[in-house]
Amino acid sequence: MYVGQDISPEALKETWSSTLRNKGRRVTKQRLAVLTAVQKHQHSPAEAIVEAVREELPSITVQSVYVILADLVDIDLLRRFEPPGTPALYETRIGDNHHHAFCIRCGKVEDVDCAVGSAPCLVPNNFHGMALLSADVLYQGICADCQTSEEHELATRQQAAAAAEHPHVFKVAS
């Protein structure tokens, strides 16, 4: 199931509620508030989700949010993933084996559809007799914004270096 952005909040809550019941969980306002917060803040760490949940339920404890997050991951209502050097991030887009592109400069995360469509989308030459379930795919790179600012910095530095080396360039020829 892929919970997209184009579904109304009411329909989303209906979908979440029926999944919770199917998994033997009670539908509580705490669980729905956590799901709503993650839906609004995709690819966010637990800390940011606590903050968002508290806008709706000011008295909820940090511990409760963490426990609910872990449980929602267990019952496949949320997906948790951990890019290198960052805390775990949560999202409501589940069950479609999509991957992530991660900017090593600013930590921005983007969804990338799986080119193959289902796990495991990478099949090694030798998998030692294992029944393969999944392959972790993380694209790492430098996002467009960071590329632009790096190019800008480089250009500024090159101009400064050129001006220092060749001061005559800026003199008016006689």
Annotated binding site: 103, 106, 143, 146
Give exposure, 141-152, as e/b (b: 16+ Cβ within 10 Å). Answer: eebeeeeeeeee
Question: In the complex with Zn ion, which residue's Cβ is closer, 60 or 104?
Answer: 104
CB of 94 to Zn ion, least distance (A): 9
Q: Which residues sit in the known binding site for Zn(2+)?
A: 103, 106, 143, 146
What contacts 94, CB < 8 A, 6 or more positions away?
Answer: 1, 2, 3, 76, 77, 78, 79
Question: In the complex with Zn ion, which residue's Cβ is closer, 82 or 111?
Answer: 111
Question: In the complex with Zn ion, which residue's Cβ is closer, 74 or 150?
Answer: 150
Write out the residues near Zn ion by the rule CB under 5 A: 91, 103, 105-106, 108, 111, 114, 116, 121, 143, 146
Question: In the complex with Zn ion, which residue's Cβ is closer, 52 or 89?
Answer: 89
> Closest residue (Cβ) to Zn ion?
121
CB of 88 to Zn ion, least distance (A): 13
Packing angle, helices 46-56 and 29-40, rounded to 10: 120
Evaluated on CA atoms 36, 112, 80, 41, the torsion sign reads: negative
Q: Are 83 and 138 in contact (CB under 8 A)?
A: yes
